[in-house]
């Protein structure tokens, strides 16, 4: 036998990692854990068992938190909040640095305990999860230090409730806890019921680091504990990572409560392979994309889309590689695929793929217990349930495409939008495809690259909000200026004794503006609009459900606006300002008549300035390059959200509409605007500005009518990507409840007014709400 033959046939030897230190820590704690509240552990109570999925062995008994326990944890966090925020950025940075150092000091203990509790291979826990958790605390120590200078207009939100999943227990803790603490918040965290042990070990190092009592509180238990937290009136923000169904329920429960909310939900990430890809590299990338962590990854590249001309070759290479994957003991350092987290999850995956209509290939035998063989299923149609539903296991499904356009269409043919991988040696094609994908993260010739500096999060039903970077930190802050309580603005009524005009007025009945045309409302109704004296000024149309449908359809058809350059959009905004300036006195007098106050001139002048502001920002807000440890050019790109519905403020009929429309247009979105309910005629005159300012048909659509009647239809509309509401009628709860069906982004006023004449009218929040972040990874190296 030659040396080459010897190397090719040599089997892997076992390389077991010792579990002694982790088991000793469990024994030292009595194998029973209470809750971590106000800086110390409570006495263990009635509990649930934490099991090693690889062996079925019970590792420890955990306490199930009661409603009283959750109350105590929230009270401790509330009590600690003022002192923690008052430490300032440097004081918080020192604590975060201490936590990072302790995570390094106890790295092996954390890695082994994570593997015992979760079933993932020790190599992945040791080389990926724990170092990245450390990195998050280091990075956020830096953000805490810089926050006062770089985010001077932001303040902590308050007490943050955080609910994390079982697939990356410590890493998800780090993703949530580090930014919350850096921003000055305090935390009540619930780890997953199947994998709580590293969170409890983290509580142990919080004590060692001298973290003030109450800053971090950890409560264990099942879904009922998460429900208590979500509905708790003492919690100011919920951050959740988990299933889309649960995320939708959390949106419904928190609706109208004023709680901030970020959701990182499910995915069905496309893995696109073009005919010029390096197929050997592609196959190794697939190993990381789908069989990393047993496929129990929300952004797993579980949906392989391969160009038809190379499909057979690629599938053959994948099958050969699958045969070499080692499935077995997670504590063996040579294991590629460990145990699935729980028998329930293993059985769920097996049930989903049973009776599949495609051609299934599973590689080799697996040990008895909580294991599942790596599986490839080919020959599926894009509509097949396995191509649409998240499997969350070591199962790769595949379909073919012929052209770039078909590839993009298939990749976007999902309700999710978390991540995607693009494999091509043609960098121009790869970047063009990356731009067109509906995904929050895109890896070019790579997969599953993460860093604390790189924002991570989804689109569509994969949720909203970001973890990581300045964007993730911002989601744990709020403006440091709060609005006054909302005051309903009512229209003027016909008093019956209004002064008679010198000459009879020509009848004025406005029309809706949809698809670049002035059209009558579908229902045929209009309502009278009077000035403060009761004099009739005209009639405004009353829009209905079909008008909203037509407006959204028109906006969808104007997608070319989102592909136009920032410079082109800026020119049109400047042109709008020019046309508004030419009609300054007309609009000022109209507003004075409508609103009954002498604010017309101030509104017009500020509206012109607003348009200049957003014209200026249109080509200066594209994103930034990120400094990540990996050899990669990594970009956080600002993209248009898409079609945004906006219910404009009542109290500032012109300025409010312009302040809302400016950022929507500047960032490349299309708009469906509902004008001031009380004073709609100003918006109908703005239509004339739109018609003379070269805005393409469908980019801006203007409706008038009752806010309370139109809001539910907008919130429920599946083709509306986001909905803003600044109405003087408090519609926040209804909008957030109804938007849960499609999990669209919402921005509501929570019964707080905004100063449209002041800085609040062009606050940075408008830029954040008018864009979404796409993180693109471009790895390089010889």
pLDDT higher than threshold 80 for residue 604: yes
Share of the chain above pLDDT 90, in %: 88
Cα gap 516→508, rounded to integer Å: 20
- Distances 87 to 228, 234, 414 between C-alpha atoms, Å: 30, 22, 45
Would you tell me how many other CB atoms lie within 10 Å of the CB of residue 455? 25
Cα 78 versus chain centre, distance: 26
Closest CA to 158 of 224, 79, 105: 79
Phi, psi of 156 (to 5 degrees): -60, 155
pLDDT higher than threshold 90 for residue 499: no
Closest CA to 705 of 522, 528, 544: 544
Closest CA to 454 of 471, 437, 439: 471
- pLDDT band, residue 444 (cuts 50/70/90): very high
For CA atoms 231, 237, 241, 247, give the dihedral sign: positive
Superfamily of 270-457 according to CATH: Aldehyde Dehydrogenase; Chain A, domain 2 (3.40.309.10)
562-779 is classed in which CATH architecture? 3-Layer(aba) Sandwich (3.40)
For the stretch 469-502, what's the b/e string if a residue is b when 16 or more beta carbons lie within 10 angstroms of its beta carbon? bbbbbbbbbbeeeeeeebeebebbeeeeeeeeee
Note the pLDDT of residue 13.
74
Note the pLDDT of residue 17.
87
Cα gap 662→722, rounded to integer Å: 16
Active-site annotation holder among 264, 390, 438, 461:
264
Q: Do 29-265+475-479 and 562-779 show the same overall fold? A: yes
pLDDT in tens, 405-440: 999 999 999 999 999 999 999 999 999 999 999 999
- pLDDT band, residue 504 (cuts 50/70/90): very low
H runs (alpha helix) in 219-377: 223-231, 244-254, 279-290, 311-322, 343-353
Average pLDDT value over all residues in the chain = 94
Active-site residue flag, 493: no
Of the CA atoms within 13 Å of residue 628, those in its CB half-sphere come to 26
- pLDDT band, residue 9 (cuts 50/70/90): confident
Note the pLDDT of residue 356.
81
pLDDT in tens, 687-702: 999 999 999 999 999 9
Q: If residue 537 lies in a helix (H) or strand (E), which one and from where to where?
A: strand 536-541
Q: Compute the chain's Rg from CA coordinates.
A: 28
Structure tokens at 362: 């599973």
Note the pLDDT of residue 502.
46
* The total number of residues written for the chain in this structure: 782
pLDDT in tens, 209-233: 999 999 999 999 999 999 999 999 9
Residue found under tokens 């035998």? 365
- pLDDT band, residue 498 (cuts 50/70/90): low
For CA atoms 397, 399, 403, 409, give the dihedral sign: negative
pLDDT in tens, 74-98: 999 999 999 999 999 999 999 999 9
**Mean pLDDT, rounded, for 196-221:** 97
For helices 681-691 and 655-666, the axis angle rounded to 10 degrees is: 40
pLDDT higher than threshold 70 for residue 496: no
Give me the residue spans of the domains in the chain: 29-265+475-479, 270-457, 562-779
Of the CA atoms within 13 Å of residue 270, those in its CB half-sphere come to 33
Among 252-261, 524-533, 639-648, 725-734, the range scoring the smallest mean pLDDT is 524-533
Cα gap 189→737, rounded to integer Å: 24
The CATH code of domain 29-265+475-479 reads 3.40.605.10
pLDDT in tens, 118-149: 999 999 999 999 999 999 999 999 999 999 99
- pLDDT band, residue 6 (cuts 50/70/90): confident
pLDDT in tens, 614-634: 999 999 999 999 999 999 999
Note the pLDDT of residue 64.
96
Cα gap 693→714, rounded to integer Å: 27
């Amino acid at each position: 036998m030659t040396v080459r033959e010897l190397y090719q046939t040599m089997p892997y030897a076992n390389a077991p990692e010792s579990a002694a230190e982790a088991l000793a820590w469990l024994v030292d704690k009595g194998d029973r854990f209470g809750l971590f509240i106000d800086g110390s552990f409570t006495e263990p109570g009635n509990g649930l068992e934490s099991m090693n999925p690889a062996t079925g062995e019970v590792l420890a008994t955990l306490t199930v938190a009661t409603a009283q326990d959750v109350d105590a944890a929230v009270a401790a966090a509330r009590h600690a909040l003022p002192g923690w925020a008052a430490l300032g950025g440097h004081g918080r940075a020192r604590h975060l640095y201490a936590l990072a150092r302790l995570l390094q000091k106890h790295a092996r203990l954390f890695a082994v305990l994570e593997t015992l509790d979760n079933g993932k291979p020790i190599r992945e826990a040791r080389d990926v999860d724990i170092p990245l958790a450390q990195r998050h605390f280091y990075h956020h120590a830096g953000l805490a230090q810089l926050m006062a200078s770089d985010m001077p207009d932001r303040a902590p939100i308050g007490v943050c409730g955080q609910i994390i999943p079982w697939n990356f227990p410590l890493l998800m803790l780090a993703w949530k806890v580090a930014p919350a603490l850096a921003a000055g918040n305090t935390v009540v965290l619930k780890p997953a019921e199947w994998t709580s042990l590293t969170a409890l070990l983290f509580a142990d190092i919080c004590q060692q680091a001298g973290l003030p009592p109450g800053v971090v509180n950890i409560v264990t238990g099942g879904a009922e504990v998460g429900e208590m937290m979500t509905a708790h009136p003492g919690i100011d923000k919920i951050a959740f990572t988990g299933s889309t169904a649960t995320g939708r329920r959390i949106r419904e429960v928190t609706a109208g409560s004023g709680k901030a909310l970020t959701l990182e939900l499910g995915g069905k990430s496309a893995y696109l392979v073009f005919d010029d890809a390096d197929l050997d590299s592609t196959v190794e990338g697939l190993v990381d994309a789908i069989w990393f962590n047993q496929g129990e990854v929300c952004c797993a590249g579980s949906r392989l889309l391969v160009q038809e001309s190379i499909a057979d070759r690629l599938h053959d290479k994948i099958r050969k590689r699958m045969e070499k994957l080692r499935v077995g003991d997670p504590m063996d350092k040579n294991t590629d695929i460990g145990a699935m987290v729980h028998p329930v999850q293993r059985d769920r995956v097996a049930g989903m793929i049973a009776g599949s209509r495609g051609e299934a290939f599973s590689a080799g035998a697996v040990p008895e217990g909580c294991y599942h063989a790596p599986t490839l299923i080919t020959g599926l149609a894009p509509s097949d349930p396995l191509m649409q539903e998240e499997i969350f296991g070591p199962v790769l499904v595949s379909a073919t495409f012929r052209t770039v356009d078909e590839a993009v269409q298939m990749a976007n043919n999902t309700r999710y939008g978390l991540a995607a991988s693009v494999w091509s040696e043609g960098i121009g094609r790869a970047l063009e495809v990356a731009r067109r994908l509906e995904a929050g993260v895109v890896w070019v010739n790579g997969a599953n690259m993460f860093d604390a500096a790189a924002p991570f999060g989804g689109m569509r039903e994969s949720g909203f909000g970001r973890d990581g970077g300045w964007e993730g930190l911002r989601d744990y802050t709020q403006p440091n200026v709060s609005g006054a309580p909302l005051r309903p603005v009512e229209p003027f009524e016909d008093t019956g004794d209004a002064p008679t005009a010198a000459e009879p007025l020509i009848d004025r009945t406005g029309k809706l503006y949809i698809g670049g045309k002035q059209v009558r409302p579908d229902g045929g109704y209009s309502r009278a609009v009077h000035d403060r004296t009761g004099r009739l000024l005209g009639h405004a149309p009353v829009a209905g459900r079909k008008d909203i449908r037509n407006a959204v359809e028109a906006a969808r058809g104007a997608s070319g606006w989102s592909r136009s350059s920032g410079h082109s959009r800026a020119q049109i905004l400047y042109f709008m300002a020019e046309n508004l300036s030419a009609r300054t006195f007309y609009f000022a007098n109209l507003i004075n008549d409508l609103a009954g106050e002498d604010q017309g001139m101030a509104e017009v002048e500020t509206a012109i300035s607003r348009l200049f502001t957003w014209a200026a920002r249109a080509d200066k807000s594209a994103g930034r390059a990120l400094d990540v440890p990996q050899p990669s050019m990594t970009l956080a790109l600002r993209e248009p959200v898409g079609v945004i519905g906006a219910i404009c403020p009542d109290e500032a009929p012109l300025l409010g509409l312009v302040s809302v429309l400016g950022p929507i247009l500047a960032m490349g979105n299309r708009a469906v605007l509902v004008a001031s309910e009380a004073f709609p005629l100003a918006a109908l005159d703005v239509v004339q500005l739109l018609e003379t300012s070269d805005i393409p048909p469908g980019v801006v659509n203007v409706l008038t009518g009752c806010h309370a009647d139109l809001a539910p239809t907008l919130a429920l509309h599946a083709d509306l990507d986001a909905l803003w509401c600044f109405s003087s009628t408090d519609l926040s709860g209804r909008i957030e409840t109804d938007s849960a069906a499609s999990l669209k982004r919402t921005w509501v006023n929570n019964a707080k007014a905004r100063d449209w004449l002041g800085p609040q009218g062009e606050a940075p929040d408008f830029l954040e709400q008018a864009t979404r972040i796409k993180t693109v990874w471009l790895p390089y190296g010889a």
